[in-house]
Amino acid sequence: MSFIKSEDSKKWINALVAIFSGIVGFVIYKFAIQLSVWFDLEAKIAGYASISQALGAIIGIGTFFFVINNKKSFGYLEEVYNELLKVVWPTKDQTVKITVGLLISLVIVSAIFVTVDLIFKKILEFVY
């Protein structure tokens, strides 16, 4: 039973694009702050902190509207969403079994590597 429905595609795509745009705006803001540190822009430009925040917000909002209004990108995101609807997610029981199997495999492979490492260490101690 999935909580994702095909009629909710626009809502989910808008949420995804909003999150992505927020991240883009935050990265631009942090980059502007880093530029300030590198070039001491706060001393040279009055209100640089406010300008960098506004720049991040404007680019984030611009990214949101660009992706939403671009037919190719929105169509691609709708195709991705429709493919996501076709995914058959594993049950809780299957997930637990696979996780336990992976952990057991990891322990076995780690033990083999540790044993081989100790053997080579002893050989090298004997040689040198």
Q: What pLDDT does residue 128 have?
A: 84
Q: What pLDDT does residue 72 have?
A: 96
Q: 53-89 b/e with 16+ CB inside 10 Å = b? A: beebeebbeebbeebbeeeeebeebeeebeeeeeeee
What is the CB neighbour count within 10 angstroms for residue 28?
A: 19
pLDDT band at 2 (very low <50, low <70, confident <90, very high): low
**For tokens 């990108």, what's the residue?**
73
The Cα–Cα gap between 58 and 52 comes to 10
Average pLDDT over every residue of 100-112? 98
Mean pLDDT (the chain) is 93
Average pLDDT over every residue of 13-37? 96
This prediction has a pTM of: 0.69
The Cα–Cα gap between 56 and 71 comes to 24
Q: Is the pLDDT of residue 45 over 50?
A: yes
Which amino acid is residue 81, in one-letter code?
Y
The set of long-range contacts for 78-82, using a CB threshold of 8 Å and a minimum separation of 24, is: 78/9, 78/13, 81/9, 81/12, 81/13, 82/6, 82/9
Question: Of residues 29 and 5, which shows the higher confidence score?
Answer: 29
Q: Is the pLDDT of residue 1 over 90?
A: no
CA-wise closest residue to 50 among 61, 62, 63, 41:
41
Q: Is the pLDDT of residue 26 over 60?
A: yes
The Cα–Cα gap between 6 and 78 comes to 10
